[in-house]
Amino acid sequence: MRRVSMLLLVLAVAFVGSLPGEAQQGKNITWTAGQVGGGWYSQAGGFVELIKSKDPSFNIKVIPGAGIQNMTKLQQGETEIAWGLPPFIMASYQGQDPYKDKHSDMRLVMNGLGFVHIQWCVPADSEWKSIRQIFESKKPITIGTTPPGGSDEWVMRKVFEFYKTTYADVRSRGGKVILVSYTDLANQYRDRNMDILFANLAVPGAAIQEASLGRKMRILPMDDDLIKFMEGVGLTRGVIPKGSYKDVVNNDVDIPTIAMANTIVANAKVPADVVHDFTKVLVSNVDGVRKVHPAFKDFDPKDAPKLSSLPLHPGAERAYREAGLLK
């Protein structure tokens, strides 16, 4: 029996040795993205297709996530890579609000992948022409965004804070705060069950396009004092470019808002060779990256290794040095 077992072991080793190198060295990683129906989820899927077309040894599983939760999942080793946003990446790395502990295993893989923008959407025939007007009127409102744990809800609470309002205030006036997926937000807006859709998405956002297709909308501009307040909590001044949405009635002008950069981060313990090969494919195929989503149309590899105070993953650093992007 022992001889038979030994023979089987020898045959198994010989079989593995005869496999192509890619099959022997499969790179299995999980990428935590955003909610199904949101930009991050589909963008990660587009990147996976690009990476596998250039390096079939990769086996990348994309799973749903959210901007705030992703950092903790990464730190705890539940995922190898994740989408992130600089304010939350740095807050997690330093152990600041909304995180209780330092996420010391956070490492940068790639920055410079366009931006997500806050989009405050109301029906085109609404009486509201500014965000301030909504809060100062103190009328009942039905407002929706994605559930806690994502950047959308966190930012919406900060806007409420600026206008000295709470969810409880909204409910006490007969209004509602709806916290559901992007798909449900689009459906509830379109079905007239909700009058304000608040989303943090790359432009054009699929949920915004879907919602406005069935019910024309206006995207309200952010006043300068609100933008300055949001800059104080780590966000960046930005605009939703004119021409982004055909069913938005003020689509003929740039709309002032706030923005955050799309960033890919990894756990420090992910093997350097895996992160190197992942990064190398993307920086070597700039046109492919730009085609994944309109938000990436201006992607420039020289911006990829830049994020203040967050260490680069060693594998990504090696890829950037090889590409001449780091000295």
Model pLDDT, residue 25? 55
In a domain, 11, yes or no: no
Range of 70's domain?
Answer: 26-114+262-322
Query: Does a structural domain hold residue 21?
Result: no
pLDDT at 39 over 70: yes
Residue 158 lies in a domain: yes
The reply to whether 270 and 189 lie within a common domain is no
Indicate whether 85 belongs to any domain.
Answer: yes
Residue 126 belongs to a domain: no
Q: Given 227, 255, 283, which residue is the final one in a domain?
A: 255
**Could you read off the pLDDT of 169-196 as tens digits, one per residue?**
999 999 999 999 999 999 999 999 999 9
Residue 233 shares a structural domain with residue 178: yes
Q: What is the pLDDT of residues 111-124, one digit of tens each?
A: 999 899 999 999 99
Same domain, 166 and 207: yes
What's the CA gap between 281 and 289, in Å, rounded? 10
Examine the domain organization and report whether 296 and 247 are in the same domain.
no
Do both 83 and 175 map to the same domain?
no
Q: Are residues 236 and 311 in the same domain?
A: no
Which pLDDT band holds residue 234 (cuts at 50, 70, 90)? confident
Tell me, yes or no, whether 230 and 296 share the same domain: no
Prediction pTM value: 0.79
Tell me if 238 is assigned to some domain.
yes
| Residue 142 sits in the same domain as residue 207 | yes
Query: Do 138 and 245 have their domain in common?
Result: yes
What is the tens place of the pLDDT at every residue in 133-145? 999 999 999 999 9
- Residue 12 maps to a domain: no
In three-state form (DSSP H/G/I as H, E/B as E, the rest C), the secondary structure along the chain is CHHHHHHHHHHHHHHHHHCCHHHHCCEEEEEECCCCCCHHHHHHHHHHHHHHHHCCCEEEEEECCCCCHHHHHHHCCCCCEEEECHHHHHHHHHCCCCCCCCCCCEEEEECCCCEEEEEEEEECCCCCCCHHHHHHHCCCCEEEECCECEHHHHHHHHHHHHCCCCHHHHHHCCCEEEECCHHHHHHHHHCCCCCEEEEEECCCCHHHHHHHHHCCEEECCCCHHHHHHHHCCCCEEEEECCCCCCCECCCCCCEEEEEEECEEEEECCCCHHHHHHHHHHHHCCHHHHHHHCHHHCCCCHHHCCCCCCCCECHHHHHHHHHCCCCC
The predicted-structure confidence for 274-283, as pLDDT tens digits, reads as follows 999 999 999 9
- pLDDT value at position 23? 34
The per-residue pLDDT of the chain, averaged, comes to: 90
Q: What integer is the mean pLDDT of 299-321?
A: 93
- Report how many domains make up the chain: 2
Residue 3 lies in a domain: no
Based on the fold, state whether residues 243 and 201 are members of the same structural domain.
yes
Which CATH number does the domain housing residue 169 bear? Answer: 3.40.190.10
Phi, psi of 269 (to 5 degrees): -85, -5
Q: What are 43-79's pLDDT values in tens digits?
A: 999 999 999 999 999 999 999 999 899 999 999 999 9
Is residue 20 predicted with pLDDT exceeding 70? no
Q: What is the pLDDT of residues 44-53, one digit of tens each?
A: 999 999 999 9
